[in-house]
Amino acid sequence: MDALVRIFDTTLRDGEQSPGFSMNPGEKLELARQLEALRVDVIEAGFPISSPGDLESVRTVAREVRGVAVAGLARANPKDVDAAIEALRPAARPRVHVFIATSPIHMEHKLRMSADEVVAAAEAAVRQARRFTDDVEFSAEDASRSDVEFLCRVFDRVIRAGATVINVPDTVGYATPGEYAALIATLRERVPDSDRVTWSVHCHDDLGLAVANSVAAVAAGARQVECTINGIGERAGNAALEEIVMALRTRRDVWGVRTGVDTTKLYRASRLLVAITGVPVQPNKAIVGENAFAHEAGIHQHGVLMHRATYEIMRPEDVGLPTNRLVLGKHSGRHAFRRVLEDQGVRLDEAALNRTFERFKALADRKKQVAIEDILALVDQEVRAAPARFVLEAFQVTTGTATAPAASVTLRSADGLATATGTGDGPVDALCQAVNQITGVRAQLLDYAIRAVTGGTDALGEVTARVREGDVVVVGRASSTDVLEASVLAYLDGVNRLAAARAGARVEDPAWA
Ligand code: KIV
Ligand code: ZN
């Protein structure tokens, strides 16, 4: 039997901490559930000391997601480790992840600590974490630029203190595959009791080598890979989970290892992250990009039609990419609909399923062929819907080459119906102005993106609107076959989120009052 390589997902920690990818606690939990369905081995849910909100998010994931180990990050000091323990207390399988930098440049200029002080802090933090759980990971930050002798010394001490996983990060994405593999091999050879721990790698993509470095390290004996969905993360990102998993699987003949990941859930996990953050994946992205399995050149199309393997090294269905685009139509029933959702790893409670099914029926009336991508867009809309303080009742737009764009919007709220008109630079701007007048939210549209979910002129248009009021930035999202309807709904989704954030924050944060 091939050796198992464990997948440690850090989308909710290293991924989430990078600009533009922040998620609220509900969104983190939703993604964590998808990661559990994907069957990753460890979910790093956050960095509990970094904020009360992060601690609470880690605690929520730890309480709700029972089928997978949940990790919390801590620097090597007592307060950080206490916060991680506090957050992980409800977990079925808690892991405390302790780190400290070991490279000369970090020790001297960032930590201002001597080598001896770093060793002592690492050892003490691991001991403290071990009193709470027997699953303790230690990371030597900037390991790839650290002195190997010093790394051996630190690792020896933390293993003796009880660390069970030793992580060797390429924090700044500086390593090359050959030297990184050699580093792992050297450490495994020189560190006493190295066979009692799991060797882990964590690579950043500054030189575009994160995945190559990770798989090279696997060949040298690493048995845990740290990575993120869509490769999101600090600066150029982390190693992409979907690429690591599919590389190890597709070239099992080379690496002779396996992962426990259900690869058919990869596409869904990628989509969910895009839906939550509003940050799209580049079309040519390996595994989950729109073009990853598209064959455009005639000669390629001909080859694939004759025999798929001429140009396809993986089957789209192995990564959960819908191949049969015409899945459901207006005569499809609830049973078939539920089945499609289950196949995609989507879990909705009965009420949410019913609402999504109703939206599907309405869509099937407008669009003959409803594809899996359309259904996933409806699911994203349901899952992400903000508490709807304001609901769109009706809208009308006038625009044209000789007419100034104007819009009329009617919204329903607890106070009844309200209608306002707005004008603007274009029809979307006019719609947003009308929404602002009714809701009283002083929202500003920062970013607006529209994407056709499938091909064809009747395609569902999916709109992502990044909206700001004061310091609070949220992502609103909606889809419709009418792009102006999708636009006003996405903006309203953002405004509802802002209104909810404002109401929620008022209790703790007088700045909102
Ligand atoms: O890149 C890095 O070194 C990290 C550590 C905290 C593991 O993210
Ligand atoms: Zn990192």
Element (H, E) at 143: none
- State pTM to two decimals: 0.80
Q: Best substitution site from 12, 81, 138, 139 to test ligand 1's pocket, by max atoms within 8 Å of Cβ?
A: 139
Ligand 1 centroid to residue 232 C-alpha, Å: 14
Between 502 and 156, residue with greater pLDDT: 156
Between 18 and 258, residue with greater pLDDT: 258
pLDDT of 254 over the 70 cut:
yes
Residues 214-225 have a mean pLDDT of: 98
Given this model, what pLDDT does residue 339 score?
84
Question: 23-27, 271-275, 305-309, 431-435: which has the minimum mean pLDDT?
Answer: 305-309
Confidence of residue 249 (pLDDT cuts 50, 70, 90): very high
pLDDT tens, residue by residue, 283-310? 899 999 988 887 666 676 666 677 777 7
Q: Name every residue whose Cβ is closer than 8 Å to that of residue 126 and which is 6 or more positions away in sequence.
A: 76, 98, 136, 138, 158, 161, 162, 163
What is the C-alpha separation between 385 and 204, in angstroms, rounded? 33
Given this model, what pLDDT does residue 377 score?
84
Given this model, what pLDDT does residue 169 score?
98
Between 306 and 443, residue with greater pLDDT: 443
Q: Best substitution site from 99, 138, 158, 199 to test ligand 1's pocket, by max atoms within 8 Å of Cβ?
A: 99
Atom number, ligand 1, closest to the C-alpha of residue 142: 3
Given this model, what pLDDT does residue 298 score?
66
Ligand 2 centroid to residue 347 C-alpha, Å: 30
Is 228 within 8 Å of 9 (Cβ atoms)?
Answer: yes
Give percent of the chain above pLDDT 90. Answer: 66
pLDDT tens, residue by residue, 266-286? 999 999 999 888 888 998 999
Of 154, 150, 144, nearest to 122 by C-alpha is 154
Residues 328-335 have a mean pLDDT of: 82
Atom number, ligand 1, closest to the C-alpha of residue 238: 1
Question: 11-15, 95-99, 376-380: which has the minimum mean pLDDT?
Answer: 376-380
Atom number, ligand 1, closest to the C-alpha of residue 141: 3
Ligand 2 centroid to residue 14 C-alpha, Å: 6
Q: Name every residue whose Cβ is closer than 8 Å to that of residue 403 and which is 6 or more positions away in sequence.
A: none
Question: 110-119, 172-181, 195-204, 311-320: which has the minimum mean pLDDT?
Answer: 311-320
Given this model, what pLDDT does residue 301 score?
64
- Is residue 139 in contact with ligand 1, taking CB distance under 6 Å? yes
Given this model, what pLDDT does residue 511 score?
30
Given this model, what pLDDT does residue 179 score?
98
Between 1 and 327, residue with greater pLDDT: 1
Give percent of the chain above pLDDT 70. Answer: 94
- Is residue 14 in contact with ligand 1, taking CB distance under 6 Å? yes
Ligand 2 centroid to residue 64 C-alpha, Å: 25
What is the C-alpha separation between 383 and 378, in angstroms, rounded? 9
Helix H segments across 278-333?
298-306
pLDDT tens, residue by residue, 449-495? 888 777 677 778 889 888 888 878 888 888 888 999 999 999 999 99
Confidence of residue 189 (pLDDT cuts 50, 70, 90): very high
What is the C-alpha separation between 153 and 140, in angstroms, rounded? 11
Atom number, ligand 1, closest to the C-alpha of residue 13: 8
**Token pair listed for 334:** 């609830």
- Is residue 99 in contact with ligand 1, taking CB distance under 6 Å? yes
Confidence of residue 204 (pLDDT cuts 50, 70, 90): very high
What is the C-alpha separation between 251 and 443, in angstroms, rounded? 50
Burial 379-415 (b: 16+ CB within 10 A, else e): bbbbbbebeebbebeebebeeeeeeebbbbbbbeeee
pLDDT of 187 over the 80 cut:
yes
Q: Best substitution site from 77, 95, 146, 202 to test ligand 1's pocket, by max atoms within 8 Å of Cβ?
A: 202
Atom number, ligand 1, closest to the C-alpha of residue 169: 3
- Is residue 171 in contact with ligand 1, taking CB distance under 6 Å? yes
Residues flanking ion ligand 2, Cβ below 5 Å:
14
Given this model, what pLDDT does residue 383 score?
77
Given this model, what pLDDT does residue 505 score?
42
- Is residue 95 in contact with ligand 1, taking CB distance under 6 Å? no
Given this model, what pLDDT does residue 228 score?
98
Question: 84-88, 139-143, 151-155, 280-284: which has the minimum mean pLDDT?
Answer: 280-284
Confidence of residue 326 (pLDDT cuts 50, 70, 90): low
Given this model, what pLDDT does residue 387 score?
72
Ligand in nearest proximity to the CA of 142: 1
Ligand 1 centroid to residue 58 C-alpha, Å: 18
What is the C-alpha separation between 222 and 175, in angstroms, rounded? 15
Given this model, what pLDDT does residue 504 score?
56
Confidence of residue 193 (pLDDT cuts 50, 70, 90): very high
